Amino acid sequence: MIQNTQTTTNQEPITKITQLVPKLPPDVDGLGDYALNLAYQLRQDYGITTDFVVGNPTWQGEGEVAGFRAVGLRERSVRGLLEVLGDQPVILNYEGYGYAKRGYPRWLLQGLKRWKRESRQRLVTMFHEVYPYHSKPVWTSGFWLTPWQRGLVVRLAQSSDRILTSKQSYATLLQHLSQGHHAQVPSVPVFCNLGEPETLLPLSHRPPRLIVFGHYNSRRQVYENNLLALEKVCQGLKITEILDIGVPTGIKLPLVNGYKVQELGITPADKISELMQHSMAGFLSFIPPDYLAKSGVYSAFCAHKMLPIVTTEGKGNSDGLYPQKHYCIASQSLDTLTLETGQFIANNAHQWYHSHNRAIHAQKFAQFLNC
pLDDT of residue 13: 86
Whether 249 and 112 share a structural domain: no
Side chain identity at residue 256, one-letter code:
V
Domains of the chain: total = 2
pLDDT of residue 144: 47
Alpha helix segments (H runs only) across 166-293: 168-177, 216-225, 227-237, 269-277
Whether 122 and 233 share a structural domain: no
Whether 210 and 183 share a structural domain: no
Question: Which CATH number does the domain housing residue 335 bear?
Answer: 3.40.50.2000
DSSP string of 265-278?
Answer: ES--HHHHHHHHHT
Whether 150 and 214 share a structural domain: no
Instruction: Give tens-digit pLDDT for 73-129.
Output: 999 999 999 999 989 999 999 999 999 988 999 999 999 999 999 999 999 999 999
pLDDT-based confidence at residue 53 (cuts at 50, 70, 90): very high
Whether 183 and 278 share a structural domain: no
Whether 179 and 218 share a structural domain: no
Higher pLDDT, 207 or 314: 207
82 is a domain residue? yes
- The yes-or-no verdict on residue 168 having pLDDT over 70 is yes
73 is a domain residue? yes
pLDDT of residue 371: 79
The b/e string for 267-306 (b: 16+ C-beta within 10 A; e otherwise) is beeeebbbbbbebbbbbbbbbebbbbbbbbbbbbbbbbbb
197 is a domain residue? no
Sheet holding 259-265, edge to edge: 255-256, 259-265, 241-245, 209-213, 281-284, 307-310, 328-329
Q: Which domain holds residue 336?
A: 203-353
**118 CB neighbour count, 10 Å cutoff:** 11
- Closest listed residue to residue 244, CA positions, set 274, 209, 270: 209
Q: What sign does the dihedral 99-358-221-323 (CA atoms) show?
A: positive
Whether 306 and 366 share a structural domain: no
Question: Using CB atoms within 10 A of its CB, is residue 179 exposed (0-12), middle (13-18) or buried (19+)?
Answer: exposed
Give the C-alpha separation, 294 to 276, whole Å.
19
Give the C-alpha separation, 75 to 164, whole Å.
27
- Closest listed residue to residue 37, CA positions, set 259, 360, 318: 360
29 is a domain residue? yes
Whether 242 and 290 share a structural domain: yes
Contacts of 111 (CB under 8 A, 6+ apart): 77, 78, 80, 81, 82, 85
- The yes-or-no verdict on residue 342 having pLDDT over 50 is yes
pLDDT of residue 286: 75
The CA angle 225-168-312, to the nearest 5 degrees, is 15
Contact 220, 253 (CB under 8 A): no
196 is a domain residue? no
Instruction: Give tens-digit pLDDT for 245-275.
Output: 999 999 999 999 999 999 999 999 999 999 9
Whether 331 and 366 share a structural domain: no
When computed from its CA atoms, the radius of gyration of the chain, rounded to whole angstroms, is 21
Q: How far apart are the first and last CA of the chain?
A: 12
Whether 245 and 295 share a structural domain: yes
- Closest listed residue to residue 109, CA positions, set 141, 81, 67: 81
pLDDT of residue 8: 41
Contacts of 118 (CB under 8 A, 6+ apart): none
pLDDT-based confidence at residue 318 (cuts at 50, 70, 90): confident
Average pLDDT of the chain? 91
Whether 23 and 159 share a structural domain: yes
3 is a domain residue? no
Whether 345 and 225 share a structural domain: yes
253 is a domain residue? yes
State what percent of residues in the chain have pLDDT above 70: 92
DSSP string of 118-187?
Answer: HH---EEEEES-----S---TTSHHHHHHHHHHHHHHHHHHH-SEEEES-HHHHHHHHHHTTTS-S---B
Distances (CA, A) of 126 to 46, 177, 241, 291: 19, 15, 38, 16
137 is a domain residue? yes
